Amino acid sequence: MSSHIQRATELVAEAESVVVLTGAGMSAESGVPTFRDAQTGLWQRFAPEQLATEEAFRANPSMVWTWYVWRAMLVDSVDPNAGHHAIGTWQQHLAARDGSLTVATQNVDDLHERGGAQDVLHLHGSLHSYRCLECGTPGTFDPASTGITADQDFDHETFVPTVHCDHCELGVLRPNVVWFGESLPEQAFAAAVSALQQAQLVVVVGSSGLVQPAASLPLIAHEAGASLIEINPAATTLSDTADIYIPSTAAVALPELLADIV
């Protein structure tokens, strides 16, 4: 075991209130590509402004739907990795001892839930829920009904039918994710801030720290006195601030860090 993991296990053993903040790197070893990694990032092939904005959706709904449906099918086709499972087990371990662990993620996948975590705060929404573009009412849509599959190359546009809102009948459904320029879901964000202000330990996993306001969350906890552990194979702007920076991946470092618990 490396010396930084050894020191980090001491913080883990002492902490009763924990927040785990995760980004796209958390799901990379499950086979969900991150946005910004040079080799595999989706952003290398598609410009975010073409896909993840309301303007793009209004201008080219079938292109944007195809992209989100493809990602939902991709997520459905993969499994949580050893890091997701370790976090789920850690949460149960602390709950059984009157402690608490809050998971707040920028990920729109459901791999934390499938790895056993409960009450996950989805700061950027979910690939598996939908709402009206005009009135916001939740609506149902089955991505599998489109025929788009995870292994299909989605370079071309696939026609995705317009689904009208049951409530206002004017709007169409859109993915319930946070697009560029949109604000974060208020309740999830407030719950994350509150948990961070009370946390003894914060573990940040697989986030480049480039997307605000999520990137500023670890600093709230740091200023309130929490210890900070960062897990990321590539150093970020947070790495110098973190008490312990572990240059490793989610599926390798988390089970090591939690070996006494999981």
Give catalytic residue positions: 124
Residue from the set 165, 178, 217, 231 that interacts with Zn ion by CB under 5 A: 165
Render the burial of 35-64: b for 16+ CB within 10 Å, e for the rest: bbbeeebbeeebeeeebbbeebbeeebebb
Q: Is 167 in the site for Zn ion (CB under 5 A)?
A: yes
Q: How far is the CB of 61 from Zn ion (least distance, A)?
A: 15
Quick one: DSSP state of residue 164? B
8 with 253: CB under 8 angstroms?
no
160 with 146: CB under 8 angstroms?
yes
Q: Is 112 in the site for ligand NAD (CB under 6 A)?
A: no
Residue from the set 47, 144, 168, 259 that interacts with Zn ion by CB under 5 A: 168
Q: Encoding tokens for residue 174?
A: 């859109």
Residue showing the smallest CB distance to ligand NAD in the complex: 25
Residue from the set 9, 102, 107, 176 that interacts with ligand NAD by CB under 6 A: 107
Q: How far is the CB of 166 from ligand NAD (least distance, A)?
A: 27
What is the distance between the alpha carbons of residues 29 and 144, in angstroms, rounded to a whole number? Answer: 24
Q: How far is the CB of 167 from ligand NAD (least distance, A)?
A: 26
Q: How far is the CB of 85 from ligand NAD (least distance, A)?
A: 14
Binding mask 27-56 for ligand NAD (x = CB under 6 A): xxx--x-xxxx-------------------
Residue 197 has a CB neighbour count (10 Å cut-off) of 14
Q: For residue 255, report the phi and psi dihedrals to the nearest 5 degrees.
A: -60, -30
Name the segment binding ligand NAD (CB under 6 A); options: 57-65, 105-113, 146-154, 166-174: 105-113
Q: Is 73 in the site for ligand NAD (CB under 6 A)?
A: no
Task: Give Cα separations from 244 to 24, 76, 231, 253 (angstroms).
Answer: 20, 34, 9, 12
Q: Which residues bind ligand NAD (CB under 6 A)?
A: 23-25, 27-29, 32, 34-37, 106-109, 124, 205-208, 210-211, 231-234, 236, 249-250
